[in-house]
Amino acid sequence: MVNVIGLGYIGLPTALMMASHGVEVVGTNHSQGKVDMLKAGKTTFEEDGLDELFQAALDGGIQFTTEYQVADVYIVSVQTPYDKFTKKVEMQYVTAAIGDVLKVAPKGAIIVVESTVSPGSIDKYVRPYVTEKGFKIGEDIHLVHAPERIIPGNMIYELLHNDRTIGADDPDIGEKIKVLYATFCGGNIVVTDIKTAEMTKVVENTFRAVNIAFANELAKICRHDGMDVYEIIKICNMHPRVNILQPGPGVGGHCISVDPWFLVGDYPSLAKVIDESMKTNDSMPDFVLNRIYEIMKEKGMTDITRVGLYGLTYKENVDDMRESPTLQLLESQERHLATGLKVYDPYITNDVVPNQYHDLSEFLNAVDFVIIMVKHNEIKGNMERLADKVVLDCHNICSLPGVYHI
């Protein structure tokens, strides 16, 4: 039996996927509210195909509880935030979950950490913790790190098809976990050691962060000299060995905007390019705010309450707002003691910020200037409704005449 600990963005789909592929699964979460919701047959966030997968997992007998179970394998997928000051990973949720696992785990059980951790974290935080509790690693308990790789918006497909990495002390234990993941994963599954697995995960997200930063820096250079960054990127990408990503209003989510900081925190004198890249990405919401003021000045607009941000989530077609560029921009505006921007996002139905709208028409009636912060399909399908507005398009999706870009 597999006990999945932490039923968030990664734990829930992973638990459902295993249960729908013939594995006996119990999902554990400390929040009674979340467990009640799942028991009532409701998923806790929106993701394409999640409801269907949920039904298949229910048919496969999945159960939800707040209690830790006696199981052969534990999959820990709890959050790993980072300390904003030291930039180091915070492991307390992982160690707390492992502490609770150890209270019930039978001899020889395998603990798989799926949460993203910085390289060396299992050595530094988990091993001493398990040993102090009186368990002999490799005999009483086995440790594995199997970092997740799925992208919100396409999670179900990627769970089924992405290659995976399994880091284990003992290759036989690694192979056992490989067999478990192969019940649903059609990609290649590489077995390696734990520290290598930790590093690969952080490096993958860092690669993307640095490449997005490069695109953002190009956008700033082109803005400075009146060049069209999109045209330049398009032409450069026709070169067979060039593949530049897209600039945007900032980098959000709990992965690309967080994980690279682990390397900066652990290797401050070495991770220079990464440090600068993260700073560049973090500067983008402010860059957009300056563009808003610049355009208002150019257009002779003075009333900030007639300006609206379209999109609150960290990227398109998801309901996840963690570290979102729009939230960062609003915070920055507050720090400058200037508020009043209107906000709307079709995926955020509860009130999370002031001046928030829940209906596209009402939002559009209330503003003269729209900033496209997120390229949700909704706005792509409603572009003509922006025809009488001033538009700052942070994603180059709007072909109306006179549109501004970052």
- Residues numbered 291 to 330 that lie near ligand SAJ (CB under 6 A) are 314-315
Helix and strand element counts for the chain (H, E): 15, 14
- Residues numbered 138 to 157 that lie near ligand SAJ (CB under 6 A) are 148-152
Q: Is 205 in the site for ligand SAJ (CB under 6 A)?
A: yes
Looking at the Cβ atoms of 63 and 80, the one nearer to ligand SAJ is: 80
Select from 227-235, 243-251, 301-309, 378-386 the region that touches ligand SAJ (CB under 6 A). Answer: 243-251
> Is the CA virtual torsion 377, 381, 385, 389 positive or negative?
positive
Looking at the Cβ atoms of 244 and 301, the one nearer to ligand SAJ is: 244
The site that binds ligand SAJ (CB under 6 A) totals a number of residues, namely 20
Q: How many other C-beta atoms are found inside a 10 Å radius of the C-beta of residue 100?
A: 17
Q: Is 405 in the site for ligand SAJ (CB under 6 A)?
A: no
Measured CA to CA in angstroms, residue 300 lies from 36, 103, 293, 296, 333 at distances of: 53, 66, 10, 6, 20
| Catalytic-role residue among 87, 176, 178, 201 | 201
Looking at the Cβ atoms of 129 and 314, the one nearer to ligand SAJ is: 314
Buried/exposed code over 142-152 (b: 16+ C-beta within 10 A; e: otherwise): bbbbbbbbbeb
Select from 26-34, 176-184, 250-258, 381-389 the region that touches ligand SAJ (CB under 6 A). Answer: 250-258
Looking at the Cβ atoms of 237 and 339, the one nearer to ligand SAJ is: 237
Q: Residue 100 half-sphere exposure, CB side, CA atoms within 13 Å?
A: 20
- The DSSP-derived string for 92-153 is HHHHHHHHHHHHHPPTTEEEEE-S---TTHIIIIIHHHHHHTT--BTTTEEEEE----PPTT
Q: Is 251 in the site for ligand SAJ (CB under 6 A)?
A: yes
Binding mask 360-389 for ligand SAJ (x = CB under 6 A): ------------------------------
Residue 185 annotated as catalytic: no
- The DSSP-derived string for 359-381 is -HHHHHHH-SEEEE-S--HHHHT
Task: Quote the least distance from Cβ 391 to ligand SAJ, whole Å.
Answer: 18
Task: Quote the least distance from Cβ 306 to ligand SAJ, whole Å.
Answer: 26
45 with 9: CB under 8 angstroms?
yes
* 230 closest CA partner among 396, 399, 403, 398: 396
Looking at the Cβ atoms of 105 and 194, the one nearer to ligand SAJ is: 194
| Catalytic-role residue among 176, 178, 222, 255 | 255
Select from 19-27, 98-106, 240-248, 267-275 the region that touches ligand SAJ (CB under 6 A). Answer: 240-248
Which residue's entry shows tokens 């609770």?
100
Among the listed residues 143, 212, 348, 372, the single contact to ligand SAJ using CB under 6 A: 212
Residue 201 annotated as catalytic: yes
Alpha carbons 371 and 320: distance in angstroms, whole number? 19
94 with 76: CB under 8 angstroms?
yes
Q: Is 255 in the site for ligand SAJ (CB under 6 A)?
A: yes
**Coil vs helix vs strand at 219:** helix
- Residues numbered 64 to 123 that lie near ligand SAJ (CB under 6 A) are 116
164 with 187: CB under 8 angstroms?
yes
Judged by the rule CB under 6 A, the positions of this chain that interact with ligand SAJ are 116, 148-152, 204-205, 208, 212, 245-246, 248, 251-253, 255-256, 314-315
**Catalytic center residues:** 201, 255
